[in-house]
Each structure stands twice: as C-alpha cells, then as structure tokens.
C-alpha cells in the first residue's frame, strides 16, 4: 500500500506517522529519512536504502558476505574453516551464505563481492576439455 501510486503521498505519510508512533523506539534519523521518502513519494526505495546501509555497515566493520556453492552441504567445522580461508584471501572477515548445487559435481564456488573463486569439478573438467580441444 505504501508503494502503490494509487494512494496519495499525504495519505502514505499519515499512515507511516501512525506506524512509527505505534512502533516506538525508532531513531530520529530513521524517522526523518522515512518521512522524507514519504514526502517525496519514494517509499518504494526503502529496501534499496536499507540494503545500501547494511552494505556500508559491513564494509566499515570489514565484513564481507560470501556466497558459497557446494555439491553437498558443508559441516559446521568445514564451514568455519572455509570462512577463515576466504577471509584470509579477501582480507576481510567473511559471512557465508551456503547454497547446494549437485550439478557442480564436487569442489567449491565462492563469490565474494565481484570476485569468483571457482574450484568446482565441473569447471576443472571444462578447462581440461578446452585444453584438449585447443591442442588437437
């Protein structure tokens, strides 16, 4: 309702003020930001603003999210070991989001920011195939 153009900006602001008042405990800075977005009818940008803020907080605290894809689920010890290794390579503390994709056969694919570490069996087989066809 707060993002639809069918509702007037003043009505959205009034609803937001009521929600903020009922919620309580919202910092004055966040309240001002939300009201500014409401006044400009830009409440649809709240998820983007929150995402950018979370990213900035992680950068400031030197924490990077990493998406790790494996063929089978990782155990806790292996996950911790992997986070430490990726963190050492990236120079940051790393939080891992794990994804299981059996199509990679084995190994690991790790995405840290725009950098991809692809140590999957599928990629290694692809490289071998390419070398064999290039030399033939």
Extents of the domains making up the chain: 9-57, 62-135
pLDDT at site 45: 93
Please check the confidence at residue 136 and state whether its pLDDT lies above 70: no
What separation in angstroms does the CA of 68 have from each of 17, 93, 94?
41, 15, 11
pLDDT at site 46: 93
Distance of CA 124 to the CA centre of its chain: 27
Token readout for 134 is 């290039």
* pLDDT tens-digit map of 28-80: 999 999 999 999 989 999 999 999 998 888 888 888 889 999 999 999 999 99
Q: Across all residues in the chain, what is the average pLDDT?
A: 90
Please check the confidence at residue 116 and state whether its pLDDT lies above 70: yes
Kind of pairing between the strands at 93-100 and 63-70? parallel
């Amino acid at each position: 309702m707060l993002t639809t153009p069918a509702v007037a900006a003043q009505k959205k602001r009034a609803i937001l003020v009521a929600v903020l008042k009922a919620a309580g405990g919202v910092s004055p800075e966040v309240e001002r930001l939300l009201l500014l977005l409401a006044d400009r009818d830009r409440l649809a940008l709240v998820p983007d603003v929150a995402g950018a803020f979370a990213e900035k907080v992680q950068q400031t605290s030197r924490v990077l999210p990493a998406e790790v894809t494996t063929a089978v689920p990782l155990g806790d010890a292996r996950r911790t070991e992997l986070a430490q290794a990726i963190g050492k390579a990236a120079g940051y503390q790393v939080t891992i989001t794990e994804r299981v994709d059996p199509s990679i056969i084995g190994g690991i694919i790790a995405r840290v920011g725009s950098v991809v570490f692809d140590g999957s069996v599928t990629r290694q087989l692809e490289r071998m195939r390419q070398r064999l066809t290039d030399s033939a």
